[in-house]
Amino acid sequence: FIAYARGTLVGSDRVPAASALDLASRILTLTFLAFAVLLGAQGRTGAAAMLWAMAVALLISVAGSLVVIGRDVATGRGDTGVRSVLRFSVPAYLGNVVQFLNYRLDLFLVGLFRGPYEVGLYALAGTLGQLVWVLSASVAGALFPAVALAITMFAFNFLGDGLRDALDPRLRGTR
Q: Using 50, 70 and 90 to split pLDDT, how confident is the model at 84? A: low
Q: Using 50, 70 and 90 to split pLDDT, how confident is the model at 151? A: very high
- Read off the pLDDT of each residue in 61-78 and give the average, rounded to a whole number: 70
Cβ-Cβ contacts under 8 Å for 12 (sequence gap 6 or more) = 72, 77, 78
172 vs 91, higher pLDDT: 91
- Read off the pLDDT of each residue in 50-65 and give the average, rounded to a whole number: 82
17-31, 61-75, 156-170: range with highest mean pLDDT: 156-170
> Long-range contacts for 8-14 (Cβ within 8 Å, ≥24 apart)?
8/69, 8/72, 8/80, 8/81, 9/68, 9/69, 9/72, 11/78, 12/72, 12/77, 12/78, 14/72, 14/77
State how far the Cα of 160 lies from the Cα of 175, in Å rounded to an integer: 17
* Torsional class of 168: left (φ above 0), alpha (ψ -120 to 50), beta (otherwise): beta
Q: What is the model's pLDDT at position 1?
A: 65
Cβ-Cβ contacts under 8 Å for 118 (sequence gap 6 or more) = 110
State how far the Cα of 66 lies from the Cα of 29, in Å rounded to an integer: 17
- Read off the pLDDT of each residue in 15-30 and give the average, rounded to a whole number: 83
CA atoms within 13 A on the CB side of 154: 6
Amino acid at 133: W
Q: What is the DSSP letter of 1?
A: -
Q: Using 50, 70 and 90 to split pLDDT, how confident is the model at 152? A: very high
